Structure 1
Amino acid sequence: MDKLRALQYFAHLAESGSFTNTANAFDVPPSSVSRRIADLEALLKQQLLHRSTRQVKLTELGDLYYQQILPALHSLSDAEDLLKQQQHHPSGLLSISAMPSYGELCLTPILSEFSKRYPDIVLDLHFSDQLSNLRRDQIDIAIRGGTAPDERIVAKKLSNNHFVLCASPEYLARNGQPQSPLELNQHPSLRYRSPEKVLPWLYKEQQKWQELHPPIRLISNHGTSLVNAAKSGDGIALLPEWGISQQLAEGSLVRFSVGQDIRVSPAETTGIYLLYQGLKYQIPKVKVAVDFIVSQLMQQPSEYLG
């Protein structure tokens, strides 16, 4: 039995749930896929799949086995990519994951020039705030906000991620500008929801971070909706500076201070980071993309990126 091919069939079958789709992906008859999976189950002496006329599902042991073999299959694919591309110019599918608002405002505008320079690279863009597992999710490059991740991932800091209080001029004229952190509790707030929670508003009192509790007018996981609500005069927002640079410049939003920083995290090192697996930097398509994105976004003016 070709165990590697059997594992590749099994992994694709686990993801697609279809013998036909798997057979089409490998350009073999469904009977060939079925036979290799049966041989794999016989070798392991375990049932990996629940089969029915309508669908295929993993057994509990099958799911555990799938989770264990997936990193090895991805590593093998990466190694093959590396060897193939060492002899060629940058090409192939490049997967980039970025925060939605940052991707829209900062990343997407520079990618047209990248595609002109490297026409044989196909960009596959994913917009999400969820922190990706780069290997599991087959993401080549991720851009995320927060603190620097663990040492197993290479992280290049693109900018600070400084949050500022803002509101429309009309809102401040109508309701007055808060002069202290506690005065924010008297104003409706427009709040951002991360994948884990609604981000808190924090201020420092006697060397300790305290949470503010202003009434909430709107919660959203999409920065543009919060910007639009703030422009409409619906309340006060705490947003990353890079996300409202245009509105500040045109005057539709006004940045203001309450005498000290209001933060969404007590961490001192929050930033925007470009993340990738170290080994993948040797793959030409990843190397040119990392170098290009870093050079373009790190040279943006600080008032744009925060």
Structure 2
Amino acid sequence: MDRLQAMQVFTRIVELGGFGKAADALGLPRASVTLAIQQLEAHLGVQLLQRTTRQVRPTLDGDAYYHRCQLLLDDLDDLESSLSAQRGKPRGTLRVDMPAAFGCIWIVPRLADFYRRYPDLQLDIGFHDRQVHLQREGVDCAIRAGTISDLSLVARPLVRIPQLTCASAEYLATWGTPRRLEDLAEHRAINFPASSGRFFPFELEVAGEIREIPMPAVLTVNSADAYIGACEAGFGLIQAPRYHLTRQLAAGSLVQVLEQYPVPAWPISAVYPPHRQLSPRVRVFVDWVMEQLHGVADVSPQLMVRL
């Protein structure tokens, strides 16, 4: 039994939730994956996985073994990558997650530059508007918007993104255009859930102080694109990054309101588990992202604010 490969197979099964998915990810036959786990469990003398017709999940022993395997495999990858990095060529696979709209607008169009610099690195990027659990889902690094409240992660601030308050022309024709804070009592918002389980509050800067404004809502969505679409459809007011609203504002389907009360800028940070802090792969990717975003900030100050 190749213990290293068996550990790699086991961790991918846990992260992906199935033998078939792990086999596809590793480029191995399904039978080889099954045999590797059988031999590993026999070698350790414990059951590592609970198998049902619907899911595969680790036992208590398997969960403990998974976390130790993950650390060992990450350390091994980083050791090999650090030796490569000494020659300016970090290598391996880096698993990254980021908000969908942000990634598609600011990161994907610039990836060719990243691959030119680091041809031996492979990126596995997930695009989600929810916050993934980095350790549980096997993610090395994530780009997140908003305040970072998870103290178990290392956070590196990148940029702050201007936001604005807007509504559809149709909504304003029906409900009127709010011009003072007091007018918001007659309006409604669209809810977007935060990672804490609460909804992102309506926030406005008044006389240099940030005020939360209670807003009733009839609709909640958990996708940034749906949030913008619901606003265009007339369901209420929203607060969103300016870059995500450029097309709609130019077309007139959305209209900025309450311009005299700025919306707090949205912080963007890179986060990663503490054991990934010295990873050459994580380091070069985060440095590259910061460089790209600061380049945008330099040429488009209305879109980004440098930290």
> What TM-score do you get using the length of structure 1 for normalisation?
0.74
2:71 alignment partner in structure 1? 71
Which of 28, 35, 42 aligns to 2:39? It is 35
Residue by residue over 1:41-60, the C-alpha shift from the partner in whole angstroms, topping out at 9 and shown as x without a partner, is 2xxxx443457899865333
Query: Which amino acid is the alignment partner of residue 145 of structure 2?
Result: G
Query: Which amino acid is the alignment partner of residue 178 of structure 1?
Result: P
Which of 264, 267, 281 aligns to 1:271? It is 267
* Partner Cα separation in structure 2 for residue 63 and residue 29 of structure 1: 18
Q: 1:145 to 1:210 in 2, by over 3 A?
A: closer
Residue by residue over 1:124-143, the C-alpha shift from the partner in whole angstroms, topping out at 9 and shown as x without a partner, is 22112344454554434321
* Partner Cα separation in structure 2 for residue 100 and residue 23 of structure 1: 27
The alignment's C-alpha RMSD in Å is: 4.0
2:109 alignment partner in structure 1? 109
Which of 290, 295, 299 aligns to 1:294? It is 290
List aligned pairs for 1:161-200, cutoff 5 A. Answer: 161-195=161-195, 196-200=197-201
Shift of 1:84: 4.1
* Partner Cα separation in structure 1 for residue 121 and residue 7 of structure 2: 28
* Partner Cα separation in structure 2 for residue 52 and residue 222 of structure 1: 32
1:128 alignment partner in structure 2? 128
Query: Which amino acid is the alignment partner of residue 275 of structure 1?
Result: V
* Partner Cα separation in structure 1 for residue 55 and residue 176 of structure 2: 61
Q: Comparing 99-108 with 54-63, which one deviates more in the overlay?
A: 54-63
* Partner Cα separation in structure 1 for residue 9 and residue 38 of structure 2: 9
Question: Are positions 1:303 and 2:302 aligned together?
Answer: yes
Query: Which amino acid is the alignment partner of residue 286 of structure 2?
Result: V
The alignment covers a number of residue pairs equal to 292
SS class of match (2:253): coil
List aligned pairs for 1:114-263, cutoff 5 A. Answer: 114-115=114-115, 118-134=118-134, 137-148=137-148, 150=151, 153-158=154-159, 160-195=160-195, 196-202=197-203, 209-214=211-216, 216-257=217-258, 260-261=261-262
1:266 alignment partner in structure 2? none
Shift of 1:241: 2.3
* Partner Cα separation in structure 2 for residue 238 and residue 127 of structure 1: 21
Q: 1:89 to 1:61 in 2, by over 3 A?
A: closer
* Partner Cα separation in structure 2 for residue 29 and residue 152 of structure 1: 32
* Partner Cα separation in structure 2 for residue 37 and residue 67 of structure 1: 16
Shift of 1:98: 0.7
Q: Which 5+ residue runs of structure 2 have no aligned equivalent?
A: none
CA contact (8 A) 1:182 1:212 kept: no
* Partner Cα separation in structure 2 for residue 13 and residue 151 of structure 1: 24
SS class of match (1:304): coil
Q: 1:261 to 1:154 in 2, by over 3 A?
A: closer
CA contact (8 A) 1:165 1:256 kept: yes
Query: Which amino acid is the alignment partner of residue 166 of structure 2?
Result: C
Q: 1:82 to 1:131 in 2, by over 3 A?
A: farther
Shift of 1:217: 3.8
Query: Which amino acid is the alignment partner of residue 303 of structure 1?
Result: Q
Matched-pair identity in %: 30
1:93 alignment partner in structure 2? 93
* Partner Cα separation in structure 2 for residue 79 and residue 7 of structure 1: 17
* Partner Cα separation in structure 2 for residue 18 and residue 270 of structure 1: 40
Q: Comparing 172-181 with 13-22, which one deviates more in the overlay?
A: 13-22
CA contact (8 A) 1:180 1:259 kept: no
Shift of 1:192: 1.8
* Partner Cα separation in structure 2 for residue 205 and residue 11 of structure 1: 50
* Partner Cα separation in structure 1 for residue 9 and residue 104 of structure 2: 36
Residue by residue over 1:95-125, the C-alpha shift from the partner in whole angstroms, topping out at 9 and shown as x without a partner, is 3211122112222222244345555543322
SS class of match (1:303): coil
* Partner Cα separation in structure 1 for residue 139 and residue 50 of structure 2: 29
Larger radius of gyration: 1
SS class of match (1:165): strand
CA contact (8 A) 1:10 1:37 kept: no
Shift of 1:146: 1.6
Q: Which 5+ residue runs of structure 1 have no aligned equivalent?
A: 264-268
Query: Which amino acid is the alignment partner of residue 288 of structure 2?
Result: F
Residue by residue over 1:201-245, the C-alpha shift from the partner in whole angstroms, topping out at 9 and shown as x without a partner, is 24689989554133x243212222222333344432222223213
